[in-house]
């Protein structure tokens, strides 16, 4: 696969847990945390990008996106 990753739309849910904020990407099931909601969201964006890159490198990206219910446009 080329260095170009697909653009994947996802919903981010962010909530407070103790002193941190947790961010979860639906439907990819990627979760991160940060000290502020903005930090948690930024960490989530990076985690999703890395998740997709690793999946592409392993040849499982199409399968993962299909399981997540993503459609190619």
Long-range CB contacts (< 8 A, 24+ apart) of 46-53? 48/8, 48/10, 49/5, 52/5, 52/6, 52/8, 53/5
> From first to last of its 73 residues, what are the pLDDT tens digits of the chain?
445 667 788 999 999 999 999 999 998 999 999 999 999 999 999 999 999 999 999 999 999 998 888 876 6
Helices marked H in 6-60 — which ranges? 37-58
- pTM of the full predicted structure? 0.84
Q: Is residue 6 in some structural domain?
A: no
Domain count, the chain: 1
| DSSP structural state of residue 26 | E
Neighbours of 23 (CB within 10 A): 24
Residue 9, pLDDT score? 86
Examine residue 72 and state whether it is found in any structural domain, yes or no.
no
Structural domain of 58: 11-64
Structure tokens at 53: 């890159």
Predicted confidence at residue 1, as pLDDT, reads 40
């Amino acid at each position: 696969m080329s260095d170009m990753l697909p653009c994947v739309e996802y919903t981010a849910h962010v909530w407070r847990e103790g002193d941190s904020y947790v961010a979860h990407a639906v439907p990819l099931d990627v979760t991160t945390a940060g000290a502020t909601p903005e930090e948690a969201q930024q960490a989530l964006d990076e985690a999703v990008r890395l998740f997709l890159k690793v999946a592409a490198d392993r040849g499982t990206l199409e399968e993962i996106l299909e399981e997540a219910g993503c459609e190619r446009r």
